[in-house]
Each structure stands twice: as structure tokens, then as C-alpha cells.
Chains A and B, each alone.
Chain A
Amino acid sequence: MEEAITVAPEAPPPLPPALPPTIGPTRTEYPFEFGGNAREYFRIWVVNLALSIVTLGIYSAWAKVRTERYFYGNTTLAGVPFEYLAKPWPILKGRIIAVILFGSYVLAGQFSIKLQLAAAGAIALLTPWLIVRGAAFRARYSSWRGLTFRFVPDYAEAYVRYLLLGIPMVLSLGLMYPFVKAKQKAFFVEHHRYGGRWFTFRATPGQFYPPYLIAGAVIVAWMFVVSILAGVIAAMFIGPTHAAPPAWFIYAFVVPVYGGYFAIWAFLAAALANIVYNNADLGQHRFRSTLKGHRLLWIYVGNTLAILVSVGFLIPWAKVRLARYRAESLRVLAAGDLADFRTESKDDVGAAAAEMDGLFDIDIGL
């Protein structure tokens, strides 16, 4: 509950121009819309990939900008597209730094395990900082209505939520995991600003528990069912001869187990994303996310199969399909005019952290 009313860590935000103190403001729904299509994005994707290969990765910075611009530019809210403003050169510099860091980590392993552990520890220590810099970079270069987003760094808090909270989480044998996740999401939401207003977060850590507990219970039940089924089938087909089960049997056992994890994960991801968006406010505006676990699962399964069957050539189709569903599941419940935003004071944020996040695959998706 204490998260719901976090005081801004910096100077109070510029007040929005004279909003009437309404108790139950009438809200207008504005859906997010994604207008991209797979055919178009395939062309961008395949040229990006080929040029990145031919230039030994240098072009990948330009490729990233074109990809982001395509997805931002095709996502519209209230008829106005988003814009991705980052330039390739800072991204390239960031990637070079990230490759050097990662290379030294790998190289450290050539000399001694201790050195590599030290490198891994250093990267772990850097992680909260990287998360903050990455969020700041992305916010700074995300624009709508000619106004950029902003992520206000608070490193001390980032270290508490992304590193220190790991200690009680481990000590509680993971029982505090939903609590820690809630704290991290709250941190991420509440340090964002747009158009002169703070994002606020109403969700309490308690709201994160039911999805995780249900997911855990379903996993246990599923494992139970699969084990029994496997036992029965093994007894039926193999009999008491103690012969080796055929290889397909082992795969036939592994597939439903991992398939079950995958399905549970899709439902959990949908539930968590809904909690985060439905409890995030921007000023008086609210969001409504209606992601459905079964639809997300359907999309993930279809995407995975399509990508495997097409040896990767349907990746653009898969990405577009997911982006479209995500957009159509999200809307803004606007209290008043959506144009009623003011500019921020701008801080420049280096790109290196954003790119290092990408290489070390720290997923902090809101």
C-alpha cells in the first residue's frame, strides 16, 4: 500500500494547467492501434539483417533505429503516431562498449574462473545502474505529440529494488518474489514522466500474489498429471520387461512438461501486464489493458511454430502479430483532453546503458 503514494524524489512536477478537481471524471476511451503489416516489415527486417551481416554488425545500430521507428511510427494513439528519435551513432557506440564488456567477461574466463566470477559480479553490481540508464535512454527518445517521455533516475532506489531486495527474496525461498516484482514494477512506472506529469502506480504488492500463486499451483498440478500419465503409458507400452524406452518416449514426456510451463507463463505474463497497466496512471488519465492469457498463448505458440518451420523467415510476421495484439489490448481512459500536456526539461542520456541492457538481455518490459 505504501507504494501508492510515493513522493516524487525530485522537485515537484510542473502542475498541469488548472484541471478541475473532479471526483469521478468522465473518461473517453482511446485505443492504441497498430497499423504495420508483415509484408512491409519483412522487407525492412531482411534488408536490416543482410546489411548487418555484410557489415559485420556495424549496420545493426541503423537496423535497430529503423525497426524501432517502424513499430513506433505504426502505433497510434488518438490518431497521433509515436516516434522513436534515437540516432544510430550513439547506439553504435553503446554497442561497441557492450561488446567490449561482454568480450572481457568471456576473455576473463580464459584466464581464470575467479576473474570471470569477478567480472560477473561487476556486471551484477552494474545491473541496476544499467536498468536506470536504459529506461532513461528509451524514454528520452520516445515521443508523442512532439513531447518526449522522461525517466527520472534514482540510483539508490534502483539498487534497493533490483539488487538488495534479492537477499530477502532468496532467504524467503522465493516467497517474496511477487513482492519484489511489484516493487520493481512500481519503481519503473513511478519514475516515468510525460508531458509534465508523473506516472503513478496504484497496485499493491498483494495484487501480484494471486497470479504467481495460481501459476505455481497449476505447475504442481500439471507435473502431477504428466507424471501419472507417463507412468501409465510406460506401463502399457513397455511392460515389465525393463527394456529401454524408445527415444520418442522421452521426448513425448518432455514436450508436455515444457508445453505446460509455456502455457502457464503466457497466462502469467498476461495477468501481470494487465495489473501493471490497469494500475498505472498518468496524471488523471488511466490505462486499460485487456490481454487474455489464452490469446497470448495462441499467438506465442503460432509464432514459435511459424518461426521454426520457416527457419526464421516468419519472424517479422510473428513480431507484427504480437505488436498488433498488444496494441489492440491497450487503451487510454482519458480524463479530459489528451492534447493537454506540456514539455519537460530535457536531460541528455547516454546510449551505452540502453545498448548494454540489450546485449546482456535484461528484460525490464513494462
Chain B
Amino acid sequence: MSDRFAGTFFDGISGHAHAVELRRVGLSHYALEGEGIQRGGKLVDLSITPRLARVARTIEFADGARLLLADDPAIDAWFAQRGRLEATVDRLERHAHAIAAAAIVCVATLVAGAQWGLPWLADRIAEQIPPAAERSLGDQVLGSLDRLGLGASTLDADRRNVLAARFAKLAKLAQGAPGGADYRVEFRNAPGIGANAFALPGGTVVVTDQLVNLLGDDREFDAVVAHEIGHQQHRHAIRQTLRTSFVAIVAAFFAGDVSSASAVVVAIPTFLLDNHYSRAFEEEADSYAFDLLARHDESPHWFAEAMRLLESQHPDRRRGREPAYLSSHPATFDRIDEAEAAARAFAAAHPDLCPAGVCPGEGDSDEETECEDCDDDDASPGSNDSQSLSCDKSTDI
């Protein structure tokens, strides 16, 4: 063990450096000698900065003088029992296993934060957004969507009125739940997007003409808008937007640049078109839709029918092609299975509506009859999956 250290001494009064040598005298005393410097005293009167990488150690004298020594762990033997916390940290920093453990703690925290913390915080922020603000955000988004290629609906007015009335019935049934926002439906012609429906922030549901034309039975329309109302009831649009743009918003907040937070408005249309609801949100909206349909005395079977029609538009998305947990959408077939299970439960609960477990309009798809303009809701049987549309875009439903 070394008992001499060469160092650079500053007296704390002038900036002049003195080359010196520090020597231990006995167990508890030191002597410092060098260019014009002659000091000595007790070690307990000195303090030393904790070890840190290769950074020079500094011994501080009571009068403010400082002695800089090159990094050498041997000096710590002179100052036993000092700065034990930082000595421990220093040992961790030099230990490969400790570094690995620290990295694991950081990664685990990052993953947990992204998995639970971020959605939780985003939801707390969503709660703070007043309905009026959400509504105006929704209007801005609709404006953007219109600029991006949604056109005025080409459906005839009677048809739209019939569907809007069906939507209104479901929306009324959905009221009373938290929020109770007044929901409205907008029809748009969107050849570039195809059969689709979106729940915008603030209660507006957009349904494309292409979707209306694709769906045969109006109860399928009910099923699809019930799903979108489910998104509305749970405020999925604003919550998902906040989740996906949360990092940007936090960054904007701390950078004090409020204008970049408005980039969120730009982000929402692309998010809606890109089909990015989380699995959990889709499942939540689905089960809300099954429940709402049942309260409306309609079988969730119609949701399965609508999903089959939409599925027929994406010939490349097949069961088992992608593991369900990798997909942002629950695999469509799983959702159809869920809908059919809900339909069986509905049939069991409504023997009056569904004698022998078969509700009106249900049956083998072979027996389906074509009915393109079914204004007579409950009696209209069958669905139409012979529609052919050139669109092969994915859908948000």
C-alpha cells in the first residue's frame, strides 16, 4: 500500500499551482511538502471527494486549500469510513454484474412505463379535456378528413335519413352512460378509403357510402355503428390519440412550445386512416356493441355478418396469418367468433325473439336472399355479400 501521493496543491487564495507530495505520518497524521509548501496535521481534519471513474480526487483542507491527486484507490485506506454511500455506488459502477442489473432495472421501468404508465397518464389527461374542446377537435378532424378526400355523400337523402334514424335510436339507448354526449352520424363518399367508419373525438361517427353499400341488412349497419358508439362511449379516439402522441405532447409541454402540440390535430386523420386502435380498445368497443345491440333487441349476430362482409374485402387477411398479439386489431375471425358467442347468449336470453335459438334473419349463409334496400328493418332477411368493391384498404371497424 502506497503511503506517498504526488499531487497539485492550490492554497485557495491564489490560482497558483504547487507540485507537492502528500505523505502519511504514523496512522492518523499527514505531511505535505513541495514548492514553498510545508503543511502537516491530522487526517480527520481533511475531507476527500468520493471516487468517481478516473476523475481527479480532491483533498479539502479546513482553510479552503485543495490538493488534487490522480485517481488511485489506495488513498481511500487513509480515509476509512468516509462517504460510504458513494463508495458503494462507485463499486457498483465498476462491477459488470451491477451494470447489467442496473440496465435491466432501466429497461423494465421503460417497458412498464410504456405498457401501463403512459396509457394511465394519457387517460388522466383525457379526463381533463372538456367535452366542448373534444367536440371542436372532432370538427377540425372532420375538416381535415374532408380535405384529405372525403366527399359529400352520394346516397340519396331518404336512405341517409333512414340510417340516421337507426343511428339515433341506438345513440339514445347509449345515453345515460358517462359522458352522454350527443352523438351524430355523418355520411361521406370516400372512394379512396373504401368501406369504413370512424369514431371522431367528441361524438361524431363518420360512415362511408362504400360501407353502406357493402352492408346488405340494416341491422349490420346497426352493428357497425353500435361498435363506433362503443368507441365514443369509452372516448377511444381522444384516448388513443393521446397515447400515441403522448411523447410529442410531453416534449412540447416541457419545451414550452404549445404550437407543436397542435400537430396532434394533424396526426388524428392519419391515425384514423392508418387503423391504429389498440386490441384492448377494439375488444372494448366490440363488447359494448354486443351489449347495446342486445338492449336494442338485436342479435350480435349482425356484427359477425358485418365483419364477414368487411373481411371479404381483405382477401389477404386470413385466420392464423399473424399471431393475435402482434396485431393491433384482434384477428377478425376471433371477433366474429366473439360476436357469434354473444349472439348465442342473446338467443338464449330472448326465447321470444329467437325461437329454437335462431333469431329472425339468421341462418345458413346459403339460404341468404338478396335485399339491397331493406327499409323494413326487422323483417328483412339475409345479407348481401355479393357486393364487389375495388377497394382493398383496411378498415377501422
Answer whether A339 and B14 are a contact pair too, CB < 8 Å, given A46-B103, A53-B109, A361-B254.
yes
- In the complex, what residues of B have CB within 8 A of residue A292's CB? none
Q: Given the complex, which residues of B lie within 8 Å of A36, measured CB to CB?
A: 53
Q: How far is the CB of A78 from chain B (nearest CB, A)?
A: 9
The reply to whether A145 and B15 form a contact with Cβ atoms under 8 Å apart is yes
The residue of chain B having its C-beta at the shortest distance from the C-beta of A69 within the complex is: B52
Closest to A311 in B: B110
Interface 1/0s, chain B 111-126, versus A by CB < 8 A?
Answer: 0000000000000000
The answer to the question of B10 belonging to the interface, with a C-beta cut-off of 8 Å to chain A, is yes
Contact B12 A70, beta carbon cutoff 8 Å = no
The reply to whether the CB of B149 lies closer than 8 angstroms to some CB of chain A is yes
Q: Which partner residue on chain A sits nearest B113 by CB separation? A: A53
Asked if B102 and A50 sit within 8 Å, CB to CB, the answer is yes
**Contact check: which of B93, B106, B109 meets A43 at CB < 8 Å?**
B93
Q: Interface size bucket, B side?
A: 35 or more
Residues on A with beta carbons closer than 8 Å to the beta carbon of B191 = 243
A195 within 8 A of B: yes
B109 proximity list for chain A (CB < 8 A): 53
Query: With contacts defined as CB atoms under 8 Å apart, how many contacts are there between chain A and chain B in the complex?
Result: 129
Measured between beta carbons, the chain A residues less than 8 angstroms from B54 are: 35, 40
The distance in angstroms between the C-alpha atoms of A93 and B163, with both chains bound, is 63
Contacts of B17 in A (CB 8 A): 80, 145, 339
- The answer on a CB contact under 8 Å between B105 and A361 is no
User: Does A22 sit at the interface, judged by CB under 8 A?
Assistant: no
Q: Which of B176-184, B266-274, B282-290, B322-330 contacts A (4 or more CB under 8 A)?
A: B266-274
- Asked if B53 and A40 make an inter-chain contact with CB atoms under 8 angstroms apart, the answer reads yes
B49 pairs with A47, CB closer than 8 A: no
Q: Tell me whether B102 and A46 are in contact (CB under 8 A).
A: yes
Could you tell me if A147 and B15 are in contact, using CB atoms closer than 8 angstroms?
A: yes
The answer to whether B101 has its CB under 8 Å from any CB of chain A is yes
* CB-contact partner of B55 in A47, A69, A147, A247, under 8 A: A69
A129 to chain B: which residues have CB within 8 Å? none
Give the residues in chain B near A90, CB-CB below 8 Å: none
Min CB distance A55 to B, Å, is: 11
**Interface status of A54 (Cβ within 8 A of chain B):** yes
Stretch from B37-45, B84-92, B215-223, B293-301 that touches the partner: B84-92
Q: Which of A44, A50, A146 contacts B53 (CB 8 A)?
A: A44
What's the interface size class on A, roughly? 35 or more
Q: Which residues of B239-268 have CB atoms within 8 Å of chain A's CB atoms?
A: 254-256, 263, 266
Closest CB of chain A to B93's CB: distance in Å?
5
Complexed CA–CA distance, A361 and B254 (Å): 7
B121 to chain A, nearest CB (A): 12
Please indicate the chain B residues that have their CB under 8 angstroms from the CB of A109 in the complex.
128
Q: Nearest Cβ distance between residue A121 and chain B, in whole angstroms? A: 15
B102 touches which one: A49, A69, A146 (CB < 8 A)?
Answer: A49
Chain A CB count within 10 A is highest, among B66, B103, B270, B273, for: B270
For residue B16, CB closer than 8 A to chain A, the reply is: yes
Q: Which of A3-11, A224-232, A296-304, A340-348 contacts B (4 or more CB under 8 A)?
A: A340-348
Tell yes or no: A18 within 8 A of B by CB: no
Given the complex, which residues of A lie within 8 Å of B14, measured CB to CB? 339-343
On whether the beta carbons of A341 and B256 are closer than 8 Å, the reply is no
Partner of A80, one of B8, B106, B128, B151: B8
Partner among A42, A81, A338 whose Cβ is within 8 Å of the Cβ of B68: A81
Across the interface, do B110 and A66 meet the contact criterion of CB distance under 8 Å?
Answer: no
Give B55's nearest chain A residue, CB to CB. Answer: A73
B99 touches A43 (CB 8 A): yes
> A83 an interface residue at 8 Å Cβ cutoff?
yes
Residue of A nearest to B114 (CB): A311
Residue of B nearest to A241 (CB): B192
User: How many Å lie between the Cα of A54 and that of B92 in the bound state?
Assistant: 14
B110 touches A312 (CB 8 A): yes
* A66-B52 contact, Cβ under 8 Å, with A46-B102, A244-B273, A343-B14: yes
Q: Does A114 contact B (CB under 8 A)?
A: no
CB interface residues, B 44-59, toward A, < 8 Å? 49, 52-56, 58
A215 within 8 A of B: no
**Does B129 sit at the interface, judged by CB under 8 A?**
no
Assembled-state Cα–Cα distance A109/B55 (Å): 45
Query: Chain A's nearest CB lies how many Å from the CB of B185?
Result: 20
Task: Judge whether A60 is part of the interface by a CB distance below 8 angstroms.
Answer: no
Whether a CB of chain A sits under 8 angstroms from the CB of B190 is yes
Q: Give the complex CA separation of A144 and B110 in angstroms.
A: 38
Q: Is B10 within 8 A of A147, CB to CB? A: yes
Question: What separation, in Å, do the CA atoms of A183 and B266 have in the docked complex?
Answer: 37
When the two chains form their complex, are residues A146 and B66 in contact, meaning their CB atoms are under 8 A apart?
yes
* Inter-chain contacts of B53 with A (CB < 8 A): 36, 40-41, 43-44, 70
Establish whether residues A62 and B89, one from each chain, have CB atoms under 8 Å apart when the complex forms: yes
Judge if B13 is at the interface, Cβ distance under 8 Å: yes
A46, A195, A245: which contacts B149 (Cβ < 8 A)? A245
Q: Which residues of B contact A (CB under 8 A)?
A: 8, 10-17, 49, 52-56, 58, 64-66, 68, 85-86, 89, 92-94, 98-99, 101-103, 105-107, 109-110, 128, 148-151, 190-193, 254-256, 263, 266, 270, 273-274
**Shortest 10 CB-CB distances between A and B: which pairs?**
A146-B10, A244-B149, A243-B192, A73-B55, A50-B102, A341-B15, A145-B15, A50-B105, A247-B270, A146-B66
Between A and B, 30 residue pairs with Cβ closer than 8 Å are A40-B54, A43-B53, A46-B102, A47-B93, A50-B102, A51-B89, A73-B52, A81-B55, A81-B56, A83-B49, A143-B66, A145-B16, A146-B11, A146-B66, A147-B10, A242-B192, A243-B149, A244-B148, A245-B149, A250-B270, A254-B266, A312-B110, A339-B17, A341-B14, A343-B13, A343-B14, A343-B64, A361-B254, A361-B255, A361-B256
- Beyond A81-B68, A146-B12, A254-B263: 7 further Cβ-contacts under 8 Å? A47-B93, A62-B86, A81-B56, A243-B192, A244-B148, A340-B14, A340-B15
